[in-house]
Structure 1
Amino acid sequence: MSEQLPTDRELQILGVLWARGECTVREVYEELRGQGEALAQNTVQAFLRLMTEKQLVTYRQQGRAFVYRAAVAQKRTRGQLVSSLVQRAFDGAVDAMVQSAFDAKPPSEAELQRLEELLMQHRAGKKKSR
């Protein structure tokens, strides 16, 4: 089965699971509701069922409740999403993606400093592998 990228709603649910570790359907529902999402609990349950089929989550049964956990790592999932975005929207051009990100939300001074650190680390890593 090829890896499937999560939808926006699935990503929200994964965010809850990444933050909390394991959750019941009710706990995921309550967390999303607390974030202002207007969802029915059975809708969350349906999403979790589909996410199990897509191998994005796993579950174990605890009494009558199903306890869900993310089956995909947050870092890997983010990397796959970014890679897909760069290829689909920017024809593989990382600089065009970064420029669009800057246009959408100008970075703070702290973010610019962190980006400079990342560039230096990336360049240092490239030199070591040559």
Structure 2
Amino acid sequence: MTAAGIPKPREKRPYAPRKTIYELPPLELECMKVVWEQGEASVREIREQLAADHRPLAYTTVETIMDRLSRKGAVARRKQGKAHRYTAVYPKSEARAQAVGALVEHFFDGSRQALRGYLEGAPVNEVRRSRPVAPASPPVRPRTATRPGRPAKGQARLDTSLL
């Protein structure tokens, strides 16, 4: 509180900087792609580009995403008039190298030759159409009674006193 009894505005804490770009959520990565393409962009320009790419978003949504990217250290921003201009802190080529390195490490045990062999052995159409594999969800077990003689959850209990 200030001396006049007015509460102080809450300060935004910076996020911990990301070690790699591939850790960014998809929407943040889409905004980064626009910044990389344009070199420097405002929220309005980023929003217009995303809308042109069939991803219409509210101005405030893009503004929030860019603020988060700034606090994570992925973009630098400078004030120009009433708006902010954003530039990427590191180039797209570095981000790509980090992402490929992570792919090799996680799926090919650190072997670039294994990745090359996979790509050379797979049909071209399969490589072009390949999509990330979703993690398998655990199998759903049917609910059963936890104790003998007790009905499963959601089942009616049979009154055997009248039988």
Q: Same fold (TM over 0.5)?
A: yes
Question: After the TM superposition, which residues 29-48 of structure 1 pair with which residues of structure 2 at under 5 Å, given as runs?
Answer: 29-48=47-66
Q: How many residues align?
A: 106
Q: CA deviation at 1:38?
A: 3.3
TM-score between the two structures when normalised by the length of structure 1: 0.71
| CA contact 1:60–1:67 (8 Å) conserved in 2 | yes
Q: CA deviation at 1:43?
A: 1.4
Runs (4+) of structure 1 exceeding 6 A deviation are none
Q: CA deviation at 1:91?
A: 1.4
Gaps of 5+ in 1: 107-130
| CA contact 2:31–2:46 (8 Å) conserved in 1 | yes
RMSD: 1.9
Q: More deviation in 50-59 or 87-96?
A: 87-96
Question: Residues 39, 97 of structure 1: CA spacing in aligned structure 2 closer, same or farther, 3 A cutoff?
Answer: farther
Separation in 2, partners of 1:98, 1:38 = 37
1:105 aligned onto 2:127? yes
Separation in 2, partners of 1:45, 1:85 = 30
Separation in 2, partners of 1:13, 1:61 = 18
* Identity percentage of aligned residues: 30
Q: Which has the larger radius of gyration?
A: 2
Separation in 1, partners of 2:47, 2:97 = 26
Q: Which amino acid aligns with 1:74?
A: K
Q: Which amino acid aligns with 2:106?
A: R
More helix by share: 1
Q: CA deviation at 1:97?
A: 2.4
Q: 2:71 aligns with which of 34, 53, 77?
A: 53
| CA contact 1:4–1:54 (8 Å) conserved in 2 | no
Report what 1:3 is aligned to.
19
Separation in 2, partners of 1:2, 1:16 = 19
Q: More deviation in 1-10 or 25-34?
A: 1-10
